[in-house]
A and B are shown apart, each in its own frame.
Chain A
Amino acid sequence: METSLKMDVPVQHSLLDSTNQNIISRPIDRVEGPLKVSGQARYAAEFKLPGMAHGVLVGAQIGKGSVARIDAGGVEAMAGVLGVVTDFDLFLRNSAQGMATEAPCQGVREIAYFGQPIALVVATTFEQARHAAQALEVTYEKGEGRFDFDAEQGKAQPKDSTLSSQGDIDAALAQAHGRVDGVWTTPSQTSAAMEPHASLAHWEGDSLVLYGSYQMLSTNRMQLADALGLDIEKVRIRAHYVGGGFGAKLGIAAESVAAALAAKALGRPVRVVMTRQQVFETTVRRSNTRQRVRLAADTDGRLTAVAHETLTANLDGEDFSEPVSAATKFLYGGANRTFGNEIVRMDQVLSGSMRAPGEAVGMLALEGAMDELAEKLGLDPVELRLRNLPDRHPGSDLPFSSRSLAECLTIGARDFGWPRRNRQPAATLDGEWWIGLGMAAAARSNMLIKSSARVSLQPDGRALVETDMTDIGTGTYTVLAQITAELLGLRVEDVAVHLGDTTFPPASGSGGSFGAASAGSSVYLACEKLREAIAGQLGGDVDTLVLSDGMARMGNISVPLADLDTGPLDATATIEPGETGENFVQAAFGAHFAEVGVNAHTGEVRVRRMESTFAAGRILNEKTATSQCYGGIVFGIGGALTEEMIHDTRHGAIVNRDLAEYHLPVNADVPQLKVRFLEERDHAANPLLAKGIGELGISGAGAALANAVYNACGVRVRDFPITLDKLIADLPDLP
């Protein structure tokens, strides 16, 4: 059976609100947890195939120019070496952008950035390959590179599609009662997923099977097929478990094509695992940004002008630019509005989507500016936000599908103890620590992406879910099992979920916070279809069908699911975005409240307390959703306080390319976080009435911290991360 739904009109009623199995939303443990903690969940680099060889990528040791010659002779004579494989036309120069349906930029004779892969050295063991890769002799022709953003920013090009303007910003600023006009900067960041990129390629005749570590298999498959000139049917990707991605695995990266070509050339499976340094150098980064924000408000504290103009960087020929002002466009009202986005061309590793592209960095500037404005107006920052929530999208005039932001702000403020905050900066000391409170709103656009799944009822009465959706550590296995169990009246243990294989129906993949809602909706639709089929077998109306405890009941009839005619009883369903995506502003919202300490002597910042309240439609599993928010907030802490990927402006090499010197927050940097969800349903979003949650936690989290730092010690830092060197010069003296 097949079924599909295009979201052209809101879904009035979701079955999840009437099946009453008490399974959906429950904070159950991840179903694959035991496999992971016992090492049985196999990741790409953990598969072993007979005759498998090991490849190690060789990265360019210059930042711009071309390869004059690769002298493989010496290396080929080294112990264990099976070959030096390169293809100046086919090797990937850049990773693919998320959701691309074609190959990314190929061709590696030209060097576009430092560390760009140019060859693969393959040997019998990983150690031999790594040693030989380090020994490979490459002669370069050096070119002139653009490595200094400050020097290049004058040459920025507008990205037209994102320029928009209404009203007269300058006039509104001139007449304002209170205004802010500032420049915020954020550095390059890297996703630093725990599992490095890895591919194991193996050919079955002229078909390729690739064990990979990717987020969106159905488009990854298209990218890979296109890169290799293969029919899509000839490519299968398997990624049953993925150790984090955060955007860096949305598109295929260099190791996949290199492994595939090497496996073909050598006639044996080849596994390529990137080193941590290569993950930094050759996958994808979040661009650094330069953001000018201007806000103007009248005497009532109502915004009259909102302008957010940004500069981001990318390689020549790459279209992506961080959508920095994404949330600014709809979060607050104000009649006069300007948004601009310009790209600076730099010879640095690809910029692409990293968790919450746009909001993650844009909210640092917007919510920092709102804090400054509140101070200028003498208004409480929460009150300023409450006064400026627009009824409809201030640009397009579309309605919001659901928006519990005011509730998040007020409930969050109350529970945090916000009213006790001293507005005066540098007014509270605890020993040698200045203590401050800060807050910020959170918003992240909601998306639905076409997604398919097959659900089948097995002869033993259990259910099987199959889709090429991925679980990148988020809880997909668990929520899909929960949706199925809830709708088919089964125990979660009686639902098997098979993911991460392109032989299954194509799913949305994991990205943009749309995975659970998109893949989950396809599973929902398939279960709905199965319910109809079961009702049909029982000869009655599906509305009177009750599925519970593995039994189907209707009127006086009661049949174990195992006794139904299951040969076969399956449904393949597809959800597709439709007009509700165009007719509504869809976003998840929240509010962060934070307490920090700033050391009065050293300027070290420590987060002491953080509470966040979110509303994101139906929460599918309170535990995995909370964990997603924790993870997002930790990203926010890193973005605000510690993370900065530094490119050397002389040659474009990344200076801090390991986890010792690229400072992710560690446990000691993160206090016990408190996350709360407000009850909400979004009927325009999808049949689950759920919205995305994976990126919401980051949005605004760092701004709440920056605002708390100001409240603590009176120093405003607009240049992220807020490291101690940016504070010490201006710290107030201890009383």
Chain B
Amino acid sequence: MRPFDYQRAPSAQAAAELGAAAPASRFIAGGTNLLDLMKIEVERPETLIDISRLPLDTIEQTDEGGLRIGALVTNSDLAADPRVRRDYAVLSRALLAGASGQLRNKATTGGNLLQRTRCYYFYNPAMPCNKRDPGSGCAALEGENRIHAILGASAHCIATHPSDMAVAMLALDARVEVLAADGSTRTIALGDLHRLPGETPHIETTLNDGDLITAVTLPAPPGGRHIYRKVRDRASFAFALTSVAAVVELVDGRIATARLAFGGLAPKPWRDRAVEEALVGQAPSPALWQRAADMVLGEAQGHGSNDFKIPLVRRTLASVLDAACAGEK
């Protein structure tokens, strides 16, 4: 860990200003990802801006009937919130499928969105990694890439975004509230928060220096049946090999709405609206699930040890859609 300055931000606005003024700075919230990376000097902030005491830890009803989740609400609190459990069950389930109880008690909503990849080589400074050291190469491309992306990757980086929470939020059409250093606020659709790697895998989001995530908003409850299916190498405390967040509504035996988001497959939480549109109006059937999988996986590319993800997604999606429509066929 490199020596760093530490500042406790007195207000959200001050945090954003401090962040913009000190370019090599990082906000620290729960610290569960940032501190690990600082210890191995993958993250090397000169200034740490502690936002953990800011009053951004409440969950409020919005005028539109949705929820506004403060950036510092912990993963545990969010998963346990009765409104989330009732109206946004997919989110509760995704959160509880992530990390461990201890980590969820510390991990925050904002930090979870901005946690960094778990690519093995990213975590080992002795290895080339374009995300860590731009231009050094990508060790995973021809190395061990069991946990890597099959969608949205580039020849420069094939890392996945590891969050479960973000996958559920993407399916729920969440938006991210951002406060900039100049005092302005804006909201970004969750799907537009993360960028694909292209030639610049080290630039991971559309945020600017100093931009502070203050909240995530969820629109009014979508109804439907909520499923979060996470497939992993052990029963708990492992990142997703693939995950599917599904919110599906059936009317008269046909799919009325379908929201599907995927984790473990791409550098960002993945959603494919064309697939959802293709499902709407159709009666559930194995053939339909295969067509949906064909569409999701149209551009999918394995890199060796992660080739199995392609059939795995196909099978997982079919089982999730089956379960979402079960009993109503």
Contact = CB atoms under 8 A, between A and B. Distances in A.
Contact of B311 (A131, A641, A667, A728): A728
A578 B137 CA distance: 61
B316 interface: yes
A653 B233 contact: no
Contacts of A134: 40-41, 125
B326 to A, nearest CB: 11
A604 B231 contact: yes
A660 interface: yes
A663 B238 contact: yes
B1 A131 contact: yes
Tier of interface size on chain B:
35 or more
Contacts of A665: 234
A61 B41 CA distance: 15
Contacts of B6: none
B234 A669 contact: yes
Contact of A650 (B125, B143, B315, B316): B143
A666 B312 CA distance: 23
B297 interface: no
Contacts of A660: 118, 238-239
Interface in A93-127: 127
Given A130-B39, A648-B144, A653-B127, A669 B236 contact: yes
Interface in B112-144: 118, 120-121, 123-127, 139, 142-144
Contacts of A606: 235
A669 B232 CA distance: 12
Contacts, number: 84
Contacts of B308: 724-725, 728
B186 interface: no
A723 B120 CA distance: 18
B13 interface: no
A56 to B, nearest CB: 11
B288 to A, nearest CB: 16
A724 B124 contact: no
A203 to B, nearest CB: 30
Contacts of B139: 648
A646 interface: yes
B45 to A, nearest CB: 13
B59 interface: no
A432 B235 contact: no
Nearest to B232: A604
A130 B1 contact: yes
A54 to B, nearest CB: 13
Contact of B234 (A130, A668, A728): A668
B160 to A, nearest CB: 13
A728 B315 CA distance: 9
B123 A658 contact: yes
Interface in A645-672: 646, 648, 650, 653, 655-658, 660-661, 663, 665-669
B2 A131 contact: yes
A646 B233 contact: no
Nearest to A127: B1
Given A130-B39, A728-B308, A668 B315 contact: no
Interface string A500-511: 000000000000
B3 A602 contact: no
21 contacts: A61-B126, A131-B2, A131-B3, A601-B318, A602-B312, A602-B315, A648-B139, A650-B142, A655-B120, A655-B121, A657-B124, A660-B239, A661-B118, A661-B120, A663-B233, A665-B234, A668-B234, A668-B237, A669-B236, A725-B308, A728-B308
Interface of A: 61, 79, 127, 130-131, 134, 277, 432, 601-604, 606, 641-642, 646, 648, 650, 653, 655-658, 660-661, 663, 665-669, 723-725, 728-729
**6 closest pairs, A vs B, by CB?**
A725-B308, A668-B235, A601-B319, A668-B236, A61-B126, A655-B144
Given A725-B312, A729-B311, 16 more contacts: A79-B3, A277-B40, A602-B231, A602-B312, A603-B312, A604-B235, A642-B233, A642-B234, A655-B121, A656-B120, A656-B144, A657-B124, A665-B234, A666-B234, A668-B235, A728-B308
